[in-house]
Amino acid sequence: MENNDTKYADIADDLARVYGLRVRSVEKTGKGKNSQVYRVVSGNNTPFIVKYYFRNKLDSRDRLKVEFSSLTFLWRNGVRCIPEPIMADDGTGSAVYSYVEGSRPSIDDISNEDITHAVDFLSTLKELRTLAEVQELPAASEACFSFQELLDNIDLRYRRLLEGTADVVHGPFHEFIDKEFVSALSEISEWCRGRFRERSISPECLAPEGRTLSPSDFGFHNSIRNESGQLFFLDFEYFGWDDPAKTVSDFILHPAMSLAEEQSRVFYAAMLDRFREYGSLAERVEIYYPLYGLKWCLIFLNEFLPDQMQRRKFAGCVEEQEENILNDQLMKSKNMLKDILKEYKRFPYNH
């Protein structure tokens, strides 16, 4: 086998023993924060992707099962802008997928046609919700189907941060999380309650017919563009039933994409058009959007938790000093909070 690195040789042995796959070369690829991803070339020169999933006793999510079964479901129902699932093994916590030749698109290269393609994909998932077999699919990771569930989810993340960072010596972090964040959460959640009353929209549990299927962590940051320009979507570790208001909000808010304001407007308008049967989607997005922004503030701070930094190290994406990473994440959280406080009373992406 090409590449004499002992670790790669062990992976090749794994593939031969578990999958009966003889390989010529193994190379690490991707920059994910949850998994180790390798490009493998078999003996007949066929390339594959092999993914080893992060496992930790503090994280009960079965990322391997969710992603492999979700991609299998989508592939079986004719979706082709995704990798094909080939084999999986729970013992090694790994799976084999088809290799998509291409590169991750730069945000500067994202066109309105790409945004339409993303909306088409989400619309396809929406249409699949009528199939009988979808009842077996789980809720997406951290899906929240009511106002209170979302508040509880934010509170859980907040308390987990407090408890997990009690021994962390970082004054600016504690000052921000104890004062600025708590104040913003109180202000915005009260405004949301008022908006529910003003718009006569129920904050109670969203009915099943108002839900959709979603990758949850969806966007161009998890895509590959091939030589012909087609986009393929990756990363379905969090796939399942979700609130379309979350799908819209997270796509716009996701820091890995940094969409231009006009691109966010195009996406929002297209989603309202394609999801028009979801009667109160526009109003629900406007109410929930700032809360998902607050949740992102907390997600940025995950690296302050020791087990989350361990996950980064597992995926091999810690190249900086930990102190620099923590300071960068805190700044991202502060900037997100500043933006949300500035715009939450008026959703910024209406035409």
Beta 85-89 vs 212-214: how paired, if at all? unpaired
The stretch 202-220 carries a mean pLDDT of: 95
Q: How confident is the model at residue 312 (pLDDT cuts 50, 70, 90)?
A: low
pTM of the model: 0.91
Phi, psi dihedrals of residue 6, rounded to the nearest 5°: -60, -40
Secondary structure (3-state) at 89? strand
On the question of pLDDT at 39 being above 90, the answer is yes
CA distance 317 to 85: 25
The stretch 194-223 carries a mean pLDDT of: 95
On the question of pLDDT at 1 being above 60, the answer is no
The stretch 280-307 carries a mean pLDDT of: 95
**DSSP string covering 207-242:** PGGG-EEE-SS-SGGGEEE-TTS-EEE---TT-EEE
Dihedral class, residue 30 (left if φ above 0, else alpha if ψ from -120 to 50, else beta): left
CB 219 within 8 A of CB 257: yes
> What pLDDT was estimated at residue 253?
96
Q: Which of 88, 59, 55 is nearest to 71 (CA)?
A: 88
Tokens at 288, concatenated: 């929930």
The stretch 179-197 carries a mean pLDDT of: 97
pLDDT in tens, 318-336: 555 888 889 999 999 999 9
**DSSP string covering 257-286:** T---HHHHHHHHHHHHHHTTTSTTHHHHHH
> What pLDDT was estimated at residue 31?
63
Residue with the bigger pLDDT between 55 and 176: it is 176
pLDDT in tens, 254-265: 998 889 999 999
Range of weakest confidence among 68-72, 184-188, 246-250, 255-259: 255-259
> What pLDDT was estimated at residue 110?
95
Q: How confident is the model at residue 316 (pLDDT cuts 50, 70, 90)?
A: low
